[in-house]
Amino acid sequence: MEGPTPRVLVVDDDKAVRAALGVNLRKAGYEVTLCRSAQEALAALADRPFDLVLTDVAMPGMSGLELLAQLRATWPNVRIVVMTGYGSVPDAVATMKAGADDYIIKPISREELLVIVERAVQEKALLAELVELRAQVDKQYGFENIIGATPAMVEVYELVESVADTRALVLIQGPTGTGKELISQAIHYHSKRRAGPFVRVNCAALPEGLLESELFGHEKGAFTGAHKQHRGKFEQAHGGTLLLDEIGEIPLSTQVKLLRVLDSGEITRVGGSKPLQVDTRVIAATNLDLLAESKKGTFREDLYYRLNVFNIPVPALRERRDDIPLLVEHFTRLFAERHERSLNLVVPPAALQRLVDYPWPGNVRELKHVIERAVILSRGEELVGVKLPEIHPAEEDRELVLPAGMTLQAALLEYERQVLIQALKHAMGVQAQAARDLGLSRSNLNYRINRLGIAVKDIVYE
């Protein structure tokens, strides 16, 4: 029996029954406390915790059913098995309705006793594990991870709380790195769907040919390489929430099908003909102005209005500088614990001021990376190594003169090359992130990198 020894409280007014139960349970490895009345049992429970209460029904004074009611009111997590000598189905049903986890009929065989007790103790352990897992989920996805006290962030909290427990479509709009995915997770884990799956799909990371298959699934033989049936993200998120991240990158052809799914709640797998009903809540996130994109014809206007049922605007970090000290404190504590550094790390005032003054083009994500690096470099009680990316002078302050012998086309290509290199540096070399920052698809960015001859050695990032 792994872990701490399970504690069993036996309650029976019959001395011989108590003794027999005590012997059998102790031989099986349980720690046993014997009580002759419900009053004694309540006193024992007030003194120390138990994993299981094994109680008789018919006892003088307070009955087993009355004890059961008090246990459920005061110790809701303790497992309760009721012993009854009557053997009737109505008595057993009554105990279960009153809150018992199981019942056992007297006379009790040793084998039946140990099976029922072991099952009850295991269920108690699983319940405790579930409570711990839920606490971890709450810690990871709770509101406390969306840091900020400025009016703009207070509005975000209020919007999330208002919409979380509804079925409404949500559109989260804000620059890359502002925490849109974290906000969507908070919506899911504070909704009635929290027990269901939370599924994320990055629409910018998938080429057009695979996106529909990922979203809606495909049937076996639907296309070359489709060797078996595949359940798409909408099916995988059935009963839960689907985050369509970077939804502005979806091709127009797929946008039509997505609109149909949002309207009908039905998907049809690629290569299939039978519509399938799905119960999936959709949250969309984007760093683009979808209304402006719809005016340009790159995003369907009807899909924009269908998605924009409940809009949550997320501000850039430079628009809420007063939140930077809170974020720095949060990330310092988080990474100190993760990387086993001092939990008393303090940020020097000069370093904190530099962090507040920096424009943060990569927003909260960029700040998070800077603080993690600084924490890793720290050895004492002070945060060191707070190194910020270089800020280049504004382009409008430069004199735009073509170097001698350089054509306009060559100059434009060189400028594009430098822009891509800087984006890759800011994204720590992650192409998918750089593509989002530049408003490009990943395949388009990869094409430009190859065309311009950008190599790993060109991307020197901290």
Q: Spell out the SS3 assignment of 308-375.
A: CCCEEECCCHHHCHHHHHHHHHHHHHHHHHHCCCCCCCECCHHHHHHHHHCCCCCHHHHHHHHHHHHH
Residue 52 sits in the same domain as residue 108: yes
Distance CA 321, CA 360 (A): 10
CB distance 79 to 53 below 8 Å: yes
Of 138, 161, 189, the residue at which a domain comes to its end is: 138
Q: How many other C-beta atoms can be found within 10 angstroms of the C-beta atom of residue 447? A: 12
Residue 168 sits in the same domain as residue 264: yes
Of 268, 298, 313, the residue at which a domain comes to its end is: 313
Closest C-alpha to 261, from 208, 306, 204, 207: 306
Residue 70 sits in the same domain as residue 21: yes
The answer, as to whether pTM is greater than 0.75, is no
Residue 51 sits in the same domain as residue 134: yes
Q: Which domain holds residue 366?
A: 317-377
2 within some domain: no
Please give the pLDDT value at position 433.
80
Q: How many other C-beta atoms can be found within 10 angstroms of the C-beta atom of residue 304? A: 22
Question: Taking the mean position of all CA atoms in its chain, how far away is CA 100?
Answer: 34
CB distance 47 to 2 below 8 Å: no
Low-confidence ranges of the chain (pLDDT < 70): 1-3, 86-92, 129-145, 389-404, 460-462
Query: What does the CA dihedral 184, 188, 191, 193 come to, rounded to 10 degrees?
Result: 150
Instruction: Check which CATH number belongs to the domain holding 416 and give it.
Output: 1.10.10.60
Residue 270 sits in the same domain as residue 179: yes
313-338 burial, b for 16+ CB within 10 Å, e for fewer?
ebbbbeebeebbeebbbbbbeebbee
CA distances from residue 70 to 18, 53, 64, 117, 233 in whole angstroms, order as listed: 21, 12, 10, 21, 46
Please give the pLDDT value at position 458.
77
Residue 184 sits in the same domain as residue 296: yes
At residue 383's C-alpha, the angle toward residues 356 and 344, to 5°, is 110
392 within some domain: no
273 within some domain: yes
Residue 262 sits in the same domain as residue 293: yes
Residue 170 sits in the same domain as residue 308: yes
Of 90, 116, 138, the residue at which a domain comes to its end is: 138
53 within some domain: yes
Sheet holding 7-11, edge to edge: 31-35, 7-11, 52-56, 79-84, 102-105
391 within some domain: no
Please give the pLDDT value at position 393.
46
Instruction: Check which CATH number belongs to the domain holding 121 and give it.
Output: 3.40.50.2300
Instruction: Check which CATH number belongs to the domain holding 364 and give it.
Output: 1.10.8.60
